[in-house]
Amino acid sequence: MTEKTQSFFERNAVMIKVAAIGFLTLILLIPMAMIQSLVMERRTRQMEATNEISSKWGYEQRLTGPILVVPYKTLEFDMDTKKTVEVGHFAYFLPEELKVDGSLTPEIRNRGIFDVAVYSSNLKVEGFFKSPKIETTQSIQVDWSGAFLTIGISDLRGIKEAINFKWNDVEMVCEPGVKISNLVKSGVTVNNPLQENSEVGEYRFSFNIALNGSRSVSFVPVGRETNVHIESPWGNPSFEGAFLPFDRTITESNFNASWKVLELNRNYPQKWIDSDFDLDESAFGVALLLPVETYQITERSMKYAILFIALTFTVFFFVEVMRKLRVHPIQYVLVGFGLVLFYLLLLSLSEQMSFGLAYIIASFGILVMITSYAHSIFKNNRLTVILAGILVLLYGFLYILLQLQDYALLMGSVGLFIILATVMYLSRKINWYALGGAKSEEE
């Protein structure tokens, strides 16, 4: 058949095949999107299980304070009534020194197949205030008997025992609720801590608090100097918030960390009148992470799905071209579905066992299935072994990428470079014009 009588399809058979394979590759992204949606759904269910357990045990805990509040009144001239009236104010004082020494006892709670990290904490808090002084040019009437201390506790349901609060070695009662919700949303209040004349040089305080919580515990550095030390038999901590610990030790089975924060490190003063500040923006603490975030790492692995599909299809295409075999588009689709099924297997198995074991089982199952099917197409043991070797390298490479999160981009870029260079090398002698039935420019 001469070039003039060749049909369009005969002249462009290779390009049509390549276009069809590309189209099938894009079509396979639809089931990948459905699996990704399933991953998000399972992650949502995990969050629901976490919230359910936390609602009964205790949510993330944040300790703020104590904060000393002194109410007072001033005589001010009202421009509307043309009279002098009394106006109420609050003066806020933060401790000169704040020390927290605590321990976390973690445990894993289960809701169905989902694991949630919870903890029991024992915190010893101590420090001191200077005697409060209110400085203003207006006539004032200080209500020393109405002064109170506020200790912020984000989830009061987590309190396990009564709080024994000592103020200059005098035990005082902690009452639930806060009077300064503009600064602290939840906590306890100690009423009437000041003497009438407020002439004591300093007021020392101390208390122990036992809290149940989940995932993390954090602290607001309200002291002019705040020192926090936390230890726990947990080997996978994540330090969060505005400040990192200046000293930390992490092993496979435990960690301990120490923070030191000064007044100059935060964005609010040591004392103020009436103004509102966002104290939480300076909070810091530690979260107890589970060793493997199954859904996060599965979702990361799915980003490389297009590489797996495209490269496997490329192997089939080269075998088809170089061995003059004919691989039907349906066979490409079945192989593609096998590659997509890997991620569904990985998701379902990793919920029941360790991620590493789930990865081995899922990849081995898909590898055996695809190579067995490829052998029935290729009718050649050598080509089947080559395909199996390529799949082993791909799945091994992906597992390494998932473990080396910080270097995933670098490793992925180098891997793609090597793959493209290999494909170009293997295809360097193929006469694509001849494969399509047309003459090249050299002929």
pLDDT tens-digit map of 217-270: 999 999 999 999 999 998 888 899 989 999 999 988 889 999 999 999 999 999
How confident is the prediction for the chain on average, in pLDDT? Answer: 82
pLDDT of residue 255: 92
pLDDT of residue 11: 59
When mean pLDDT is compared across 143-147, 246-250, 288-292, 428-432, the lowest value belongs to 428-432
Q: For 194-210, what is each residue's pLDDT tens digit?
A: 865 556 678 999 999 99
Q: For 54-94, what is each residue's pLDDT tens digit?
A: 777 888 899 998 999 988 888 776 666 767 777 778 889 99
DSSP tag of 159: B
Q: For 271-313, what is each residue's pLDDT tens digit?
A: 988 878 889 899 999 998 876 567 778 887 888 788 778 888 8
Residue 193: pLDDT band with limits 50, 70, 90: confident
In angstroms, rounded to a whole number, what is the distance separating the alpha carbons of residues 247 and 225?
16
Residue 417 has pLDDT above 60, yes or no: yes
Residue 14 has pLDDT above 90, yes or no: no
Instruction: Please indicate whether residue 272 or residue 22 has the higher confidence score (pLDDT).
Output: 272
Mean pLDDT: which of 67-71, 105-109, 315-319, 328-332 is highest? 67-71
* Percent of the chain scoring above 90 in pLDDT: 23
With tokens 């020192």, the residue in question is 227
Mean pLDDT: which of 146-160, 185-199, 330-344 is highest? 146-160
Work out the number of other CB atoms within 10 angstroms of the CB of residue 326. 9
The average pLDDT across 179-204 equals 81
Output the 3-class SS for 307-354. HHHHHHHHHHHHHHHHCCCCCCHHHHHHHHHHHHHHHHHHHHHHCCCC
Instruction: Please indicate whether residue 257 or residue 314 has the higher confidence score (pLDDT).
Output: 257
In angstroms, rounded to a whole number, what is the distance separating the alpha carbons of residues 272 and 279?
13
Residue 8 has pLDDT above 60, yes or no: no
Beta pairing class for 140-142 and 61-78: antiparallel
Q: Which residues contact 61 (CB under 8 A, 6 or more apart)?
A: 121, 153, 154, 155, 158, 211, 213, 216, 217, 218
Strand partners, 101: 124, 229
Mean pLDDT: which of 96-100, 116-120, 322-326, 396-400 is highest? 96-100
In angstroms, rounded to a whole number, what is the distance separating the alpha carbons of residues 287 and 272?
32
pLDDT of residue 443: 41
User: Please, what's the b/e burial string for 11-35 (b: 16 or more CB within 10 A of its CB; e: otherwise)?
Assistant: ebbbeebbeebeebbeebeebbeeb
pLDDT of residue 196: 57
Residue 4 has pLDDT above 70, yes or no: no
Q: For 29-49, what is each residue's pLDDT tens digit?
A: 888 888 888 888 888 887 787
The average pLDDT across 418-426 equals 73
